[in-house]
């Protein structure tokens, strides 16, 4: 039945897939807190206007990809396609200006209606890190460093390249936009329909077009680097110097752009060739005018997002699940006693399962299927004497352990 199938572009996560997701989010959370970031969790849906303002009403995300619906009160709501807009909205509505600077991190599901393919789902999951209220290049360096460290700790940095560009400040961006439009306007007949549509409203996005017709034009287009003012050159030099001081390698990519006017200065992506067309695993940049653009106070900002599904595809193996001990009651009379024993072990931090039914032989086989490293057998005699029979599967060893010494003995013997 169709109603009992997962919706196209979504997937159920369990086993190794879920273990990889959790490994990534656990590493990210730990890393963000080491970098002094505070956690934030915004709603999965916002008023549609929040995303129209930040993503642009005519962009593909807004016109074709957002999950937008009208609620019973008549309000237009949208499932979040990305996290930054919600964080910016929270900053404005919460009146957090007095708390600047702020370093925030979050992760969770995002939603876009697009054709599902490798590394791209309609419900996907994303990591996100933002620094607000720091206009200096040190914030850019710190965020890029944090992204590099995440890749290092996941063991996938060797598959990824940092690409870097500058978008300049508002003044030189405006100058360059005019120069670029003048150049491209002479080749309208040679441009792809998508880039022709972008020419007036978002011309810098043409620079990262993948259409061969546009690539031929972009290769000969004026370079933004030739139109930077002194302030923008100094900012970008400071970012590069900081990365080099940290030993972070990068490749300059003049085609790496962000189309909206609230972006400025640093744009960066960590990319890979191991995932085919979906090559960006972390992407970010500086957006000093975003919060002001949304109606808030002028507030510097820089951040990045990372797709958990794409990172997961690069992580070679799921971490092995902790092997449990299994408590096996020998007879109905000791069921309650064994439940209490399992509770004590769990409270002490020991991964513990129960053998629920069947004779002792069947329960031992069940324990083996669970990859247990030990079984704890308790019958009426053991209960009366205050002991437990500990049977270790790997060694084939068996011993009696007093109940009060069991926790310490299990921790002593547990496999690494």
What CATH code is carried by the domain that includes residue 104? Answer: 3.30.930.10
CATH number of the domain that 358 lies in?
3.40.50.800
Integer CA distances (angstroms), 113 to 51, 64, 65, 110, 116, in order: 15, 7, 4, 10, 9
Residue 57 lies in a domain: yes
pLDDT in tens, 171-220: 888 888 889 889 989 888 888 888 888 887 778 888 878 888 888 888 88
SS3 sequence of the chain: CHHHCCCCCCCCCCHHHHHHHHHHHHHHHHHHHHCCCEECCCCCEEEHHHHHHHHCCCCHHHHHHCCEEECCCCCEEEECCCCHHHHHHHHHHHCHHHHCCEEEEEEEEEECCCCCECCECCEEEEEEEEEECCCCHHHHHHHHHHHHHHHHHHCCHHHCEEEEEECCCHHHHHHHHHHHHHHHHCCHHHCCHHHHHHHHHCHHHHHHCCCHHHHHHHCCCCCHHHHCCHHHHHHHHHHHHHHHHCCCCCEECCCCCCCCCCCEEEEEEEECCCCCCCCEEEEEEECCCHHHHCCCCCCCEEEEEEEHHHHHHHCCCCCCCCCCEEEEECCHHHHHHHHHHHHHHHHCCCCEEECCCCCHHHHHHHHHHCCCCEEEEECHHHHHHCEEEEEECCCCEEEEEEHHHHHHHHHHHCCC
User: In the predicted model, what is the mean pLDDT of residues 321-334?
Assistant: 90
- Residues 271, 349 within the same domain: no
Of residues 33 and 17, the one with the higher pLDDT is: 33
Residue 96 lies in a domain: yes
Residue 217 lies in a domain: no
Residue 297, domain extent = 2-169+229-314
Percent of the chain beyond pLDDT 90?
62
pLDDT given at position 274 = 86
- Residues 377, 343 within the same domain: yes
Q: Is the pLDDT of residue 55 over 90?
A: no
- Residues 409, 384 within the same domain: yes
Q: Is the pLDDT of residue 320 over 80?
A: no
Residue 216 lies in a domain: no
Residue 223 lies in a domain: no
Residue linked to tokens 């003048």: 182
Percent of the chain beyond pLDDT 70?
96
Highest mean pLDDT among 219-228, 299-308, 329-338: 299-308
Residue 288 lies in a domain: yes
- Residues 257, 155 within the same domain: yes
pLDDT given at position 59 = 61
Residue 202 lies in a domain: no
pLDDT given at position 215 = 86
Q: Is the pLDDT of residue 1 over 70?
A: no
pLDDT given at position 317 = 74
Provide the domain count of the chain: 2
- Residues 364, 237 within the same domain: no
- The order of strands in the sheet holding 45-47 is 45-47, 76-79, 68-70
- Residues 106, 155 within the same domain: yes
- Residues 58, 159 within the same domain: yes
408 pLDDT band, cuts 50/70/90, is very high
pLDDT given at position 60 = 63
Residue 194 lies in a domain: no
- Residues 368, 251 within the same domain: no
Residue 81 has φ and ψ, to the nearest 5°, of -85, -15
Residue 8 CB partners (closer than 8 Å, separation 6+): 116, 122
Q: Are 340 and 359 in contact (CB under 8 A)?
A: no
- Residues 279, 340 within the same domain: no
Residue 212 CB partners (closer than 8 Å, separation 6+): none
258 pLDDT band, cuts 50/70/90, is confident
pLDDT given at position 161 = 96
Integer CA distances (angstroms), 315 to 67, 152, 309, in order: 30, 11, 10
């Amino acid at each position: 039945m169709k109603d009992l199938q997962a919706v196209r572009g979504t997937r159920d996560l369990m086993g190794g897939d879920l273990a990889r997701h959790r490994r990534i989010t656990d590493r990210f959370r730990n890393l963000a807190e080491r970098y002094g970031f505070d956690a934030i969790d915004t709603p999965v849906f916002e008023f549609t206007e929040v995303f129209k303002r930040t993503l642009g009403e005519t962009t593909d995300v807004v016109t074709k990809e957002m999950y937008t619906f009208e609620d019973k009160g008549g309000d237009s709501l949208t499932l979040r396609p990305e996290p930054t807009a919600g964080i910016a909205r929270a900053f404005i509505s919460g009146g957090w200006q007095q708390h600047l600077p702020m370093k925030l991190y979050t992760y969770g599901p995002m939603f876009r209606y697009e054709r599902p393919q490798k590394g791209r789902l309609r419900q996907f999951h994303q990591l996100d890190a933002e620094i607000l209220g720091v206009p200096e290049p040190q914030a850019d360096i710190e965020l890029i460093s944090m992204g590099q460290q995440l890749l290092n700790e996941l063991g996938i940095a060797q598959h990824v390249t940092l690409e870097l560009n500058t978008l300049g400040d508002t003044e030189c961006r405006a100058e360059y936009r005019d120069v670029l439009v003048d150049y491209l306007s002479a080749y309208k007949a040679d441009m792809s329909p998508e880039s022709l549509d972008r020419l007036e409203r978002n011309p810098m996005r043409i620079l990262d077009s993948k259409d061969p017709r546009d690539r031929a034009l972009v290769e000969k287009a004026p370079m933004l680097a030739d139109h930077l003012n002194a302030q923008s050159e100094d900012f970008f030099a400071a970012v590069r110097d900081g990365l080099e001081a940290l030993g972070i390698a990068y490749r300059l990519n003049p085609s790496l752009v962000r189309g909206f006017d609230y972006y400025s200065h640093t744009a960066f992506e960590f990319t890979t060739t191991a995932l085919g067309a979906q090559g960006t695993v972390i992407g970010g940049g500086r957006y000093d005018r975003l919060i002001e653009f949304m109606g808030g106070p002028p507030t510097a900002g820089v951040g990045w997002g990372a797709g958990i599904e794409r990172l997961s595809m690069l992580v070679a193996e799921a971490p092995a699940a902790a092997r449990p001990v299994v408590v096996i009651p020998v007879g109905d009379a000791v069921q309650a006693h064994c439940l209490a024993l399992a509770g004590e072990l769990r409270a002490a931090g020991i991964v513990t399962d129960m053998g629920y039914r069947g004779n002792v032989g069947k329960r031992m086989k069940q324990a083996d299927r669970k990859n247990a490293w030990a079984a704890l057998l308790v019958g009426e005699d053991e209960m009366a004497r205050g002991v437990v029979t500990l049977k270790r599967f790997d060694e084939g060893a068996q011993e009696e352990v007093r109940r009060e010494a069991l926790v310490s003995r299990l921790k002593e013997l547990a496999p690494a």
